[in-house]
Amino acid sequence: MTSRRRLEPLSPGALGRVRWDAVLVCLLAGVLVVGGALRAVPTLASWTDQEWTHGTVGTSQIRCGTDTNFRAQAQSKALGGSFLGTDLEGLAAARGMSLARTPTTAAVPTPSTATDLAPNDGDPTLDTYGNPLAVTGLTGITGLSVSGLGTGLPTGSPGALNQVAQVTTKGRAAAASGLVDATGAVLVGASTPANQLPQPAVLDLSSVFSGITNVTATRMSVGATGSSASLDFCSSLLDDLWGPGTVTGITRSYGVAGLGLQIDSPTVAALVTDVNATVTSLGTAVSALGGTNGQVAVAITNGVQNASNSVVTGLTATRTSSTVTVTTPDFTTALGALRTTPLTDGKVTVDLVNGRVTVNLATLLGSDAAGLNGLAPNTSLQLSSAAVASIATRVDALVQTWSNQVSAALLSAVRAVTVTSDVTVASRTAGLLDVTSTRSQHVGTIGAYLDRSAVFAPVVTETGLAAVLNPILGALLPGLTVNSYAVRMRAALPAALLTAMSSALTAQPVGQVTTLGTTLTTRRGTLVTAVQAVANRMPGALAIAVNVQPDVAGAPPGTVPVPGALPYTSPTYSVTALRVGVVSATAPTGFAYLSWARSTVGPVVQVR
């Protein structure tokens, strides 16, 4: 706290007179309250006027709410500091507004084009001016786009870069900047509905995060910000002279709608590309199941061959007729919105459409409910090792869950495909004599074949050439005849056909889904590595603070308090809603700082 100079001790007689005067004043205060408040700023505290008459080194009077012998200043600046080499403090399009007033002269706004917001307030001691920045005028600043702040606000809004200042000769000053209304009320906070907020501004940080593999751009999104400061210096002076000296008279508030980090990576888009490629290949693979010589016909032929081999070797399964049809899978319906819906857990979002990973720094570094609002003065948003690690971990979990969902959806569509087959296969000797003819007629889904719940009931017919074939079969296996071969085939075929179909379908088309899972796992690892590289660089590249107050302990580097000359000259108080520092080799502190919504009041001086 700024030290406060006390008055010189009075003589015993004078002290007695002062005490008696104080008693009389206290008695009078019980029946007389003189009201008055700094008007048109409902978010700033209302002050009850106090009137004290006392001697200070001879004679002096302090009548808060009545005395008009104060000089006051207030400044508001919606956007300041510097960013990537651009000095916003001296940029005309980002010019802040200041207002000064003396007891004997009219208020002087800077710039002179500022608008008198209350010309008919009926109070000649009070002046309120506004000078909002035009979003359209802040174009051409390297790496900074504030166009979003002009989008989505309610009709009649003064904008998200408003600047308001108010001074009075009664010892008070107020300022507000950012998303504030004409009265200085801060319109952004933890409970502000989204439909009352604009789109965010965007800072391009690609040059800061350059050289990272599979990262094409890095940006920071800054939601609407707002701040206000109000100083009742008369009350502070009164307390300084006659009280314990603890009243500063300063009231400050701030609000931040959001803060995010955007990482563009081609790997994100590649995830969907991989899925689309698999959808195409799956369609081809399913189509290949049908037809006279398609995969199903081949599988049934192989099943007959395997059954025959289990009876005797030396016979060849030869397909003599085949008709196989399959239904067309609807992969689009199966996938639904999986290829377009962002993946999010509230803190990290993977935007599949735009190829972007977004980190919600407000909830990651603040709180889920309030974001960056309600934090103590000079709160530094420390990017701890745990916070850094959690970013990549969250991306990994989101993409893994999504990959599993995609694979499950595609597999479900494949399993629902219905296969209708009618295949006849002859068991033939080396001399091309048919021993039996096996006809398999079956209708089933791919899922039933994979689950091995399908039941085959093939018909095995003997050819009637037993007299010729029995000796041949007996030579292959003593005692084997056409009849005994047919009997044993009927027993072996159901399992053999099911096994052959299950194996064939597992390879194709199910193998396509399995391959996709492996591909997505590799992509996920590549993306996580890229995001981790950005996250690892963040602590050394960014310095973020909210509710910045230079006169309060813990103020970040680069802020300078202005103490004033108490008791008659107040300190200068300010509050900045958000300050973003970007590493800079040329900056004195190693960081160049961009300030959002800075409101300053003071000095306020009692003219004696």
* Strand, coil or helix: 335: helix
pLDDT at 191: 92
Q: Which of 263-277, 331-345, 349-363, 573-587 has the lowest mean pLDDT?
A: 573-587
* Orientation angle between helical segments 510-541 and 385-415, nearest 10 degrees: 160
Q: Which residue's structure tokens are 């789109």?
A: 199
Asked if residue 208 lies in contact with residue 225, where contact means CB atoms within 8 angstroms, the answer is: no
Q: How far apart, in whole angstroms, are the C-alpha atoms of residue 422 and residue 427?
A: 17
pLDDT of 43 over the 70 cut:
no
Q: What is the dihedral of CA 311, 313, 316, 319, to 10 degrees?
A: 30
pLDDT tens for each residue of 94-121: 999 999 999 999 899 999 999 999 998 8
Q: Is 90 exceeded by the pLDDT of residue 32?
A: no
Going by their DSSP bridges, the two strands 605-606 and 162-168 should be labelled as: unpaired
The number of C-alpha atoms within 13 Å of 566 and in the hemisphere containing its C-beta is 23
Name the residue among 263, 161, 150 with its Cα closest to residue 213. Answer: 263
The pLDDT score that the predictor gives to residue 60 is 58
pLDDT band at 589 (very low <50, low <70, confident <90, very high): confident
Residue 45 has pLDDT above 80, yes or no: no
Share of the chain above pLDDT 90, in %: 80
Distance CA 168, CA 458 (A): 101
83 DSSP β-pair partners: 86
Q: What are phi and psi of 361, to 5 degrees?
A: -65, -25
Give dist(CA 11, CA 19) in Å, integer: 12
| Cα–Cα distance measured from residue 127 to residue 243, given in angstroms and rounded to the nearest whole number | 30
DSSP letters, 398-429, are HHHHHHHHHHHHHHHHHHT-EEEEEEEEEEE-
Q: Looking at residues 23-48, what average pLDDT do you find? A: 34
Whole-angstrom distance, CA of residue 297 vs CA of residue 211: 54
Q: Among residues 179, 180, 205, 89, which one has the least CA distance to residue 128? A: 180
Q: Is the pLDDT of residue 151 over 60?
A: yes
C-beta separation of 74 from 230 below 8 A: no
212 close to 533: Cβ distance less than 8 angstroms: yes
Question: CA 591, 594, 599, 600 torsion: positive or negative?
Answer: positive
Q: What is the mean pLDDT of residues 178-190?
A: 94
For 456-557, where are the alpha helices, taking DSSP H only? 466-476, 482-507, 510-541
Is a pLDDT exceeding 80 seen at residue 23?
no
Query: Does 9 have pLDDT greater than 50?
Result: no
Dist CA 369 CA 455 (whole Å)? 57
pLDDT at 48 over 90: no
pLDDT digits (tens, 9 = 90+) for 531-584: 999 999 999 999 999 999 999 999 998 899 999 998 999 999 999 999 999 998
What does the domain layout of the chain look like in residue ranges?
Answer: 12-263+545-606, 289-328+417-507
Burial-class residue 565 by CB neighbours within 10 Å (0-12, 13-18, 19+).
Answer: exposed
State how far the Cα of 493 lies from the Cα of 157, in Å rounded to an integer.
Answer: 79
Q: How many other CB atoms are found less than 10 A from the CB of residue 17?
A: 14
**Positive or negative CA dihedral for 127, 132, 137, 140?**
positive
Q: pLDDT (tens digit, 9 = 90+) per residue, 369-424?
A: 999 999 999 999 988 888 899 999 999 999 999 999 999 999 999 999 999 999 99
Give the pairing type, strands 70-83 and 591-601: antiparallel
Which tens digit of pLDDT belongs to each residue from 208-228? 999 999 999 999 999 999 999
Contact 259, 223 (CB under 8 A): yes
* Cβ–Cβ under 8 Å, residues 345 and 394: yes
Buried b (16+ CB within 10 A) or exposed e, 313-324: eebebbbeebeb
- The residue among 323, 272, 307, 299 whose CA lies nearest residue 506 is 299
Q: Report the pLDDT value the prediction gives residue 587, as an integer from 0 to 100.
A: 80
Q: Would you say 107 and 52 are in contact if contact means Cβ atoms under 8 Å apart?
A: no
Distance CA 276, CA 292 (A): 29
3-state secondary structure of 240: helix
Structure tokens at 455: 């039941």
Torsion of CA 277, 283, 285, 287, to 10 degrees: -160
Question: How many residues in total does the chain contain?
Answer: 608
